[in-house]
Copies of this chain bind each other. A is one copy, B any other.
């Protein structure tokens, strides 16, 4: 990647990505203007449009960055529980329950983006849906390694628990139903 040099002196594009990541996640995509993004990043608007072709282009980059954070968490979990898909799934849901109980939790950036961009042909929505499908397939793969009676139903149940936490974590004040998602995932996994 481009991390060992970029950390020392982050270029404008990186500062913009970081600024957009924080603002888009906490305030929503449509609610944040490009002026606010470049101001927080300490750069100017032409720098944004030199690195990204449009606000939509920056938004898809934001979704990609957010998804990378997901895979980073998964990598840590898989490292902590090697060759134990059940423990990996449980660890993810325990971490999710914790994050969803923190102040400022705003759910999943991909789901939120799909809510904000309902048009099926919109590039932001298509990218978010594509990345979501990858998550679904990761869960399905882990469930299939469990040799349960109905892996498809269990996968669907875990996905609904995840999405429910993304939504319920924003909707209800802590401690909300999202705090119990670890227990509920265990319940589903053992039935």
Which residues of A does B touch, CB under 8 Å? 26-28, 30-31, 106-107, 110-112, 114-119, 128-129, 132-133, 136, 153, 155-157, 159-168, 170-173, 176-181, 183-184, 187-188, 191
Contact = CB atoms under 8 A, between A and B. Distances in A.
Contacts of A153: 180, 183-184
A31 B30 CA distance: 8
Nearest to A111: B167
A160 B172 contact: no
Nearest to A187: B191
A170 B187 CA distance: 26
Contact of A160 (B111, B133, B136, B178): B178
Nearest to A110: B171
Contacts of A166: 163, 167
The 4 closest A-B pairs by CB, nearest first: A164-B164, A160-B164, A156-B177, A163-B167
Contacts of A136: 172, 177
Contacts of A177: 136, 155-157, 159-160, 163
Given A106-B118, A115-B107, A156-B180, A167 B164 contact: yes
A3 B163 CA distance: 37
Contacts of A119: 27
A100 to B, nearest CB: 10
Contacts of A160: 160-161, 164-165, 168, 177-178, 180-181, 184
